[in-house]
Structure 1
Amino acid sequence: MSTISMNSLKSSLLKLECHFTWTLLKQDVDLGHLEETVDDQIEFFIESNITNYNLLAYVCHLKGSNEEALRNLQKAEAAAQKNHPDEIDWRILVTWGNYAWIYYHMKRYEEAQTYINKVENSCKKLSNTDQWKIQLPEIYAEQGWALLKFGRKYYERAKDCFETALKNEPNNPRFNAGYAIVMYRLEDFSLRQCEEIIPSLELLKRAVELNPKSTFIMALLALKLQDVKQADEGERYIEEAMQITPDLPYVQRYAAKFYRRKGEVDKAVEILKKALAVTPKSAFLHHQLALCYKGKLYQLKNTTRYPPQEQVEEVIRLAIFHLKTAIAQKAKFFTAHIELANMYAEGKRYEEAEETFQKAFQINILFDNDKQEYYYRYGNFQRFHMKSESEAIRYYLEGLKIDKESYGRIACRNALKKLLEKRIQRGLEDAADFGTLGLVHKLSGEKHKAIECYEKAIALCPNNEEYLSALCELRLSISS
C-alpha cells in the first residue's frame, strides 16, 4: 500500500468504536485468567455472547493468536444473526471494528478496509448523515462490560459508559445490570459506612426488578443487604436465586460468600465444592474455599484452649492448597497472595511466608489501599511471628504515610497507637517511641496530641532535629 492510503487506513481504524480503540492494556490483566473467565461466561450467560465473543477475540489477539481471534468474531457475528436479525446493522458494529483491526495487524489491508467500509455504510444508514462514528447506547454498554472485565483500574470509566448508555435507554435491563455491578464493585473499595446512603443497593434492586430472572444480580443484592445489616432479607434473595438456578456457579460463589460471612462455614464449603465441580479452574472459588478453611482455623483456635494439632494442620494445608491454586490461575491475585503468606505464617513456614509477601508487593497493578493492607498485614507478620516490634512499627508507619483513607490505613494507625502506647506503658521511656507516636498523631490530624508526644520525645532527646522541626511546624500551624 502507498504511504497515503496506509495513513488513511490507520486514520479510519482509529475512529472505530471497538476493543482496539478503548485503551484496554494487557499489562493490567492476567490474560490467561481473563480468557478462562470469558469462556465460562459464554457457557453460562448465553444472552451476552456477542459481547463475550468480541472480548475473547481481543484477548486472543493480545495473546498473539489472530486466527483464533477471527474464529471468535465469526461466532459473535453468528450470535448476532441468530438472535437479532432485525438489528444486525448496529448489533455488529463493534465486531466489524474488531475484524478491521485484526486484519490490519495480519497485514491483510484490503480486508481491513472492507470492514471499515461496512461500519461506515451502516453508520450512514443508521444516522442519515455522513457522520460515520455513531453514538449508540449499546456500544457504550459493550465498552462498559469490557472495561469491567479488565479490572479495577477501569471501573470509573465503565461507570461513565453505563451512565451514558442509560441516558438513552433508562429501562434497559442489561445497562442497569452493568451499572449496578460496577457501582457494587466500586463500593467494595471505598470506605462507605452502613449508615450512609449506598447507591448500589437501590441500583441492584432496580436491576432485579427489570430482570427478575437475573439470579447473578439477585445474589449481589443479597450480599449488599448483608453489608447493611439486612441479612434476613438478603437470605431470601439468596434462597430464591438458588432455587431458580441451583447449578449456576456464578450464583453459588456468592451464596457461599453469604453463608461464610453469616458463620455457616460448612454450608459455604458444600456450595463451593459443587460450584468447583462445574468450573474447576475458578480462582474466585478456590479463594473463597481458602477463606472458609481460614475461618475454621480461627474457630478451632478460639473455641478450644488446646486445639488438636492434626486438625489445625489439616485446615492450614487445605487453605494453602486452594490459595496456591487460585494464584496459579490468576497470577496478579493480590488478596490471595496476602492470605497465602498469612497461612504459611500460621503453619510456621516463615521463609515461604516472607517470599509470598514479597511477591504480593511486586504485583504491578496495586492501588494505594492494597499497599496499605500489605503494610498492615506484613507489619503483623513481623510483630506476631517474627517477634520484631521495631519492624512492625516501620511497616505500619509506611501504611499510614500513604495519604488515602482506607481500612488498611485505619488498621495501621490503630495498630501503631496500641503498640507504641504499650511500649510506653512498660516504662521503656524511649524517645523514638514518643517521636513515632507524635508522627502518628500528626498524620491523623491530631495536632495537640502530636505536640504532647514530641515534647516528651525532646525531653528525652533534647537535640534531635527531627523532633524539634516537627514540633515547631505543628505549633506554627496551630497559631496561624
Structure 2
Amino acid sequence: MSTISKDSLKTSLLQLECHFTWTLTKEDIGLETLEETILDHIKFVEECNITDYNILSYVCHLKNSNEEALRNLQKAEEAIQKHHPGEIARRSLVTWGNYAWIYYHMQRYKEAQTYVSKVENSCKKLSSTVHGKIQLPEIYAEKGWALLRFGKKYFESAKNCFEKALKSEPNNPDFTAGYAIAMFRLVSFTEMSDEEMRPCLEALKQAVELNPNNTTLLALLALKLQQIKQGNEGERYIEEGLQKTPDFPLFLRYAASFYRKKGEIGKAMSILKRALALTPNSVVVHHQLGLCYKFKILQLKKERYPPQEEVDNLMQLAIFHLKTVIHKKPVYFTAYCDLGNIYALGERYEEAEEIFQRVLQINDIPCDDKQEIYFSYGNFQHFQMKSDSKAIEYYIEGLKIEKDSYRRKRCIEVVEKLLKQKIEHGLGHATDFGRLGFVHKLNGRKQEAIECYEKATALDPNNEDYVNALAELQLSISC
C-alpha cells in the first residue's frame, strides 16, 4: 500500500466511532483483570453480549492478541444477527470500526479499508454523515459501557454518553441502566449530602423499574438507600435479589458489601465465599474478603485477652486476599493501603513501610486514591511509628490535593490538631506556623491564617512563600 493511501486510510480510521478512537488506555486498568471480568459477565449474564465481545476484542488487541480479537468480533457479529436481525448495519458500526482498526494494526490494509467503507456507506444510508462519525444512541451507549469498564477516570464521560443516548430514547432500559450505574459510581467517589444524592437515587429507581430482573441495579439502589440511613428498605431489595439470582457473582459482591457495611460480617463472608467459588479470580471479591478479615481482627483486638492464634490466622487470610488483589490488579491503589494497615495491625512495621513506599512511588494515581494513600500513611506514622512530624507531612500532602472528599476533610482536621498541640507545647518552628496558616486559609479563617504567617515570617524572614501568603491574605482583607 502506498504511503499516501496508507495515510488516507489512517485519516478515515480516526473518523470511526469505536474503542480505538475512544482513548481508552491500558495504563488505567489491569488488562488481565478486565478480561476476566468481561468473560465472567458473558458467562453469567444471559443477555445480548455485543458490548462485551467488542470490548473484549479491544482488550485482546491491547494484549497483542489480534487473532483472538478478531474471533471476539465474529462473536459480536453473531450476537447482532441473533438479537437485531432487522438492524444489522445500525448495530454493527462499532464492531466494523474495531475490525478496521485491528486489520490496520495487522498491516492487512485492504481488509481494513473494506470495513472503513462498510461503515461509511452505512452512515450515508442512516444519515447525511459522510465519514464514520454518526450520532446514534446505540453508539453513545456502547461508548458509555466501555468507559465504565476502564475505571473511575472515565465515569463522568460515561454518564455524559448515556445522557446523550437517553435524549433519543428516554425509556430505553439499557440506557437507563448505564446512566444509573455511572451516577452510582460517580457519587461513590464524592462527598455528598442526601439531597445531592437524590438524582442518583431517582436514576436507580427508574432503572430498576425498567429493568425489573436486573439484580445488579437492585443491589446498587439498596446500597444508596443504606447510605442515606434507609437500610431497612435497602435490605428488602437485597433479599429480593438473593431470591432471584442466588448465583450471580456481581450481585453477590454488592450484597456482601451491604451486609459488611451493616456490620453483619459473618453473612457478608458467607456470600463472598459463594461469589469466590463462582469467580475465583475476582479482585473485588478478594478485596472485600480482606476487609472482612480486617474487621474481624479489629473486633478480636477489642477483647481483654484476644486469642492470638485466631488473630494470626485471620491476619494471614487478610494478607493473602489483599496480596492477590495487588498482584492481579496493580492499579487497585487503595488495596495497598489496606494491606499496609493489616501489617501495621500485626505490628509488622517493616512490611507495612515497604508496601506504603511502594504505592507512594507510583506515578499518575487518581486524586481520591492519592488522598487515601497520604491519609493512611499519615495515620501509620502517627499511630504506629509515633512520628507526628512525618504524619503532619503526609496529611499536608493529602489536603493539598484540591478535591473535596471525606479523606481531605480528615487530613485537615487531624493536621490542625497536631500542629496546634505542637505549638502549644512550645515546639513549633516556622514550618509549623506556616502549615497551620495554610490550614486556616483553606478553612476560610483569614485572620488566624495571617497571625500564623506573621509568626512564621518572624521566625524565617527570608521565606518567600510565607511573605507572599501573608501579603495576599492582608490584601484580600483590605479589599
Same fold, judged at TM 0.5 (above):
yes
Task: Tell me what 1:367 maps to.
Answer: 366
- Report what 1:323 is aligned to: 322
The alignment status of 1:355 with 2:358, answered yes or no, reads no
Q: CA deviation at 1:9?
A: 1.9
For residues 39-58 of structure 1, what are the structure 2 equivalents within 5 Å?
A: 39-58=39-58
What code does the residue aligned with 2:355 have?
A: T
Which residue of the partner structure matches residue 312 of structure 2?
A: 313
CA apart distance, 1:389: 1.1
Cα distance in structure 2, aligned partners of 1:307 and 1:30: 38
Counterpart AA for 2:122: S
Q: How does 1:48-87 map to 2 (within 5 A)?
A: 48-87=48-87
Q: Secondary structure at the match of 1:174?
A: helix
Change (3 A) 1:391 1:16: same
Tell me the amino acid that sits aligned with residue 378 of structure 1.
Y
Structure 2 residue 337 is matched with structure 1 residue 338: yes
CA contact (8 A) 1:119 1:132 kept: yes
Q: Distance in 2 between matches of 1:453 and 1:368?
A: 28
Work out the CA distance in 2 between the residues paired with 1:9 and 1:298.
61
Does the aligned pair in 1 maintain the 2:326–2:335 contact within 8 Å? yes
Instruction: State whether residues 344 and 352 of structure 2, in contact with CA within 8 Å, keep that contact through their aligned partners in structure 1.
Output: yes
Q: Give how far 1:22 is off.
A: 1.3
- Tell me how far apart the structure 1 counterparts of residues 209 and 468 of structure 2 sit (CA, whole Å): 60
Contact 2:48 2:83 in 1 (8 A): no
Work out the CA distance in 2 between the residues paired with 1:50 and 1:473: 57
Which stretch shows the higher mean deviation, 15-24 or 111-120? 111-120
> For 1:128 and 1:420, how far apart are their aligned partners in 2?
65
Structure 1: gaps (5+ residues): none
* Corresponding residue for residue 287 of structure 2: 287
Higher mean alpha-carbon deviation, 382-391 vs 461-470, is at 461-470
> Does structure 1 residue 212 correspond to structure 2 residue 223?
no
Aligned partners of 1:193 and 1:234: how far apart in 2? 18
CA contact (8 A) 2:12 2:131 kept: no
Residue 7 of structure 2 corresponds to residue 7 of structure 1? yes
1:37 is aligned to 2:37: yes
Aligned residues, how many? 478
8 Å CA contact retained: 2:12, 2:132: no
The separation in 1 between residues aligned to 2:305 and 2:210, in whole angstroms, is 53
Instruction: Tell me the residue number matched to 1:121.
Output: 121
Q: C-alpha separation between the residues in 2 aligned to 1:113 and 1:462?
A: 68
Does the 8 Å contact 1:334/1:363 carry over to 2? Answer: no
Consecutive unaligned residues of structure 2, counting only runs of 5 or more, are: none
* Contact 2:15/2:131, CA 8 A, preserved across alignment: no
Equivalent positions of 1:152-171 (< 5 A) are 152-171=152-171
Q: What is the alpha-carbon distance in structure 2 between the residues aligned to residue 444 and residue 345 of structure 1?
A: 32
Conservation of the 8 A alpha-carbon contact between 2:57 and 2:72: yes
Q: Aligned in 2, Cα 1:85/1:429: closer, same or farther, shift over 3 Å?
A: closer
Paired amino acid for 1:185: R
Question: What's the TM-score, normalizing by structure 1?
Answer: 0.94
Change beyond 3 A, Cα 1:429–1:133: closer
Residues 126-135 or 402-411, more deviating: 126-135
Once residues 27 and 249 of structure 1 are traced to their aligned partners in structure 2, the CA distance between those partners, rounded to angstroms, is: 26
Structure 1 residue 448: deviation in Å?
1.9
Change in Cα spacing, 1:346 to 1:4, as seen in structure 2 (3 Å) is: same
Q: 1:153-192 alignment to 2 at 5 Å?
A: 153-192=153-192
The answer to whether the 8 Å contact 1:192/1:198 transfers is no
Looking at structure 2, the residues matched to 365 and 184 of structure 1 have their Cα atoms a distance apart, in angstroms, of 24
Structure 2 equivalent of residue 413 of structure 1: 412
Distance 1:469 1:57 in 2: 55
Map Cα deviations across residues 191-242 of structure 1 (whole Å, 9 max, x no partner).
Answer: 2123434321100000000010010111011001111111111001111111
Q: Deviations over 1:428-461 (max 9, x none)?
A: 46665444323321232211222344456678x4
Partner Cα distance (2:73, 2:168) in 1: 27
Q: In structure 2, how many angstroms separate the alpha carbons of the residues matched to 1:355 and 1:434?
A: 31
Shift of 1:358: 2.0
Name the structure 2 match of 1:438: 437
Residues 1:387 and 1:464: Cα distance change in structure 2 (over 3 Å): farther
Do 1:291 and 1:319's aligned partners in 2 also have CA atoms closer than 8 Å?
yes
Question: Quick one: distance in 2 between partners of 1:343 and 1:252?
Answer: 25
Partner of 2:226, secondary structure, is: helix
What RMSD, in angstroms, separates the aligned Cα atoms of the two structures? 2.1
For 1:280 and 1:47, the matched residues in 2 are separated by 22
